[in-house]
Structure 1
Amino acid sequence: MPPFRADHVGSLLRPASLLRAREEFAAGKLPADELHAIEDAAIAEVVRRQEEIGLESATDGEFRRASWHMDFIYRLGGVTQADERMHVQFFNEDGTIEFDPPALRINSPVRLEETIFADAFTYLKSQVTTATPKLTIPSPSMVHYRGGRAAIDEDVYPDLDGFWRDLSAAYADEVSRLAALGCTYLQLDDTSLAYLNDPKQREMIAAQGGDPEHQHERYIKQINAAIDGRPEGMTVTTHMCRGNFRSSWAASGGYDFVAEALFTQLNVDGFFLEFDDERSGGFAPLRFVPPGKRVVLGLVTTKRGALEDKDQLKRRIDEAAKYVDLDQLSLSPQCGFSSTVEGNVLTQDQQFAKLGLIVETAREVWG
């Protein structure tokens, strides 16, 4: 059952052929059906590569998306792209990257109008031979965190409780529909729960008029409402990182602030956690993980191409096992390799070498 001893977050570097096709499509030089065929071929190849490496889960690399979350969120009924833009800062060893994505607006009741990513999942499922097909979608929290109360029309939702009810109901409907398509491994990607560990992010929430001390509890409640009706046999995990854009990040801080509520109250089957450097804090918050829950240690960075030392990975797994039983642990990269179409600063060969190292290390640790 997933999450597997060697697993991965989901997004993968787009091949050059796909990037060229997207540029040509955007310029009006390539028909939509030809782009779709190029996506199909790229996905079939990357699924084969994942299985050859020995991964027991396979994704489509998010090859049909430009962004890990907004391609999903904009397809929810009631959510539209605003004319104005947000201002987000990402950081790396060389300095700061300014990112100005479009803001979103909720200007009518939130609802599910279609099964989002239905065709994408169905094609992925048709391509796997040995691996379990895994679908990644943004968590409900991301619809709110992107703009907060200011993004939600007060004429539509004078009371935010109504917004949360509708949002969780739309997600619950999506989960049910995905299960009907044969999805047994679903991951809710959620940067907000990791961001809230950063005091600067909590200051931003306060400036927006939010409740920085309790917002993570609201998010946990709404995620639970979205997934509690999932059928038996569907594994739901969550992945939490502090931003991943062109090898840069947006927040820092260990999981200490959210840990107790997160691990004891969020009703997912497993947690993919970022632990690739000091910015992510130590393993002590894992002491709150209850028996039966799985923790996937994101020890292998996707932000740099240099390959990690296997013995060092094993030492870090041993360190984490001081706080949660070794049998509850797994290994993965700390994030996706390409959360947006631009991708992180490493090569395809380096990406697959890291995934291969994860498989090899997991076999030696857990058998």
Structure 2
Amino acid sequence: MSVITERLTRTDAPFRGDQVGSFLRPKALKKARKAFAEGNIALEELRKVEDNEIDKLVNKQVEVGLKAITDGEFRRSWWHLDFLEGLIGIDGYVPEHGYFFEGVETEKYDVRNTGKVAFNPNHPFFEHFTYLKEAVGDRAIPKATIPSPNQLLHQGIRDEAVYPTIEAFCEDVQQAYRETIQEFYRLGCRYLQIDDCFWGVLCYDKVVEDISEQELTYLKELSAKNVQSILKDKPADLVITTHICRGNYASTYAGSGAYEPVAKELFGQTNYDGYFLEYDTERSGGFEPLRFYKGDGQIVLGLVTSKTGELEAKEDIKARIQEAAKYVPLEQLCLSTQCGFASTEEGNHLTEEEQWQKVKLVLEVAEEVWGK
């Protein structure tokens, strides 16, 4: 594929070559977090290490040419639980089992509803974003990442004594998210990514086979309503994207299945500015479900895997971009890895050097396809 004309150059998020958010935790950070967990260092000392490693990560992202910069999720243990338990009415706890991925079980930790859900003005993620924004300065755009409200739809989270109906639960969750988004905006956030595994779950082959069509339809409508509600009244200059994930733990995955079962609702009934989609393996199916997307935002193709260090061939990536362009115009396509490199602090099985080679590959292919 030849370089495209300048009209396809993007200066707004999501960018032609973008990123999902998390990066491998450096050894110094892992050592400090372990020492803190064991009571050997104070929180202030851990924060100093986190700050130092985030500063280095920000500089590295700018150096390689990323236009959207994250803190790598360096202050989190989990991509989602750390944020969710920061909401009022949601608490962390240790269940009997962790999450089950292909051939592995995660650490035992989850969240549950313990009271009325509400916005937390003192949520630690606000302080985290403020630090990131200052570290980035005017060199690029600081990007915040949080889990979708749909993550709270998983079975067993809602306290039925507090919320007799799922609809009442969702109303309070939606309000908490709307206020959270407004606070991020007040702090200067102009690029927010909402990560969502629930849409991924609803298109797993096993789930589609096991639940009734009526239940699947209900869950899709509920998920779309959550999204519609939290995007309502968002500031015009705030870009909000989503990342649809199929599980990313220590280079394993949670499920397989094409986007077809959820495509009509996901692409037709939500109004994100961009959709980061996993397309690194055949587990995600083909690009045909993209025919349902009629919006004016961007489809970010996750064609480069973050699970292994082996580099994809540029020509193969370009050929797949051409294939996707049969369903979505090329000017509405972007490129990224399929997921972050460390959705949990354990990280995927590749080296930091291999991680950066993956990022550079994304940026190089994007420039060759769409222009600098």
1:17 alignment partner, SS class: helix
In the TM superposition, residue 114 of structure 1 has moved relative to its aligned partner by 2.3
Is 2:136 the partner of 1:130?
Answer: no
Return the alpha-carbon distance in structure 1 between the equivalents of residues 218 and 364 of structure 2.
40
2:95 alignment partner, SS class: strand
Contact 2:194 2:243 in 1 (8 A): yes
In the TM superposition, residue 204 of structure 1 has moved relative to its aligned partner by 6.5
Q: Which residue of 1 aligns with 2:66?
A: 55
Is 2:93 the partner of 1:89?
Answer: no
In the TM superposition, residue 212 of structure 1 has moved relative to its aligned partner by 2.6
In the TM superposition, residue 229 of structure 1 has moved relative to its aligned partner by 1.8
Return the alpha-carbon distance in structure 2 between the equivalents of residues 224 and 238 of structure 1.
13
1:40-71 Cα offsets, whole Å, 9 max, x none, are 11111111111111111000000000000000
Is 2:172 the partner of 1:166?
Answer: yes
Q: 1:141 aligns with which of 141, 150, 156?
A: 150
Return the alpha-carbon distance in structure 1 between the equivalents of residues 325 and 350 of structure 2.
30
Q: Which residue of 1 aligns with 2:8?
A: none
- Opposite residue 13 of structure 1, the aligned amino acid is L
- Opposite residue 132 of structure 2, the aligned amino acid is L
The number of equivalent residue pairs is 357
1:152-204 Cα offsets, whole Å, 9 max, x none, are 22221112221111000000000001000000000000011012101323466
1:188-236 Cα offsets, whole Å, 9 max, x none, are 0001101210132346667xxx923331221111121112121110000
Q: Taking structure 1 as reference, are residues 310 and 83 closer, same or farther at Cα in structure 2, changes over 3 Å only?
A: closer
- Opposite residue 104 of structure 1, the aligned amino acid is V
Contact 1:203 1:212 in 2 (8 A): no
Q: Which residue of 2 aligns with 1:44?
A: 55
Return the alpha-carbon distance in structure 2 between the equivalents of residues 260 and 339 of structure 1.
27
Is 2:113 the partner of 1:102?
Answer: no
In the TM superposition, residue 83 of structure 1 has moved relative to its aligned partner by 4.5
Return the TM-score normalized by structure 2.
0.93
2:260 alignment partner, SS class: coil
Return the alpha-carbon distance in structure 1 between the equivalents of residues 170 and 284 of structure 2.
29
1:245-290 Cα offsets, whole Å, 9 max, x none, are 0000001011000001111111111000000010011011111111
Q: Taking structure 1 as reference, are residues 202 and 114 closer, same or farther at Cα in structure 2, changes over 3 Å only?
A: farther
- Opposite residue 113 of structure 1, the aligned amino acid is N
Q: Taking structure 1 as reference, are residues 233 and 274 closer, same or farther at Cα in structure 2, changes over 3 Å only?
A: same
Long gaps (5+) in structure 2: 1-11
1:130-173 Cα offsets, whole Å, 9 max, x none, are 2110000000000222xx2x332222111222111100000000
2:215 alignment partner, SS class: coil
Contact 1:300 1:334 in 2 (8 A): yes
Is 2:292 the partner of 1:292?
Answer: no
Q: Which residue of 1 aligns with 2:260?
A: 256
- Opposite residue 109 of structure 2, the aligned amino acid is P
Return the alpha-carbon distance in structure 2 between the equivalents of residues 205 and 230 of structure 1.
34
1:303 alignment partner, SS class: coil
Long gaps (5+) in structure 1: none
1:214 alignment partner, SS class: helix
Q: Which residue of 1 aligns with 2:119?
A: 112
Q: Which residue of 1 aligns with 2:14?
A: 3
Return the alpha-carbon distance in structure 2 between the equivalents of residues 199 and 313 of structure 1.
26
1:325-358 Cα offsets, whole Å, 9 max, x none, are 0000000000000000000000000000110111
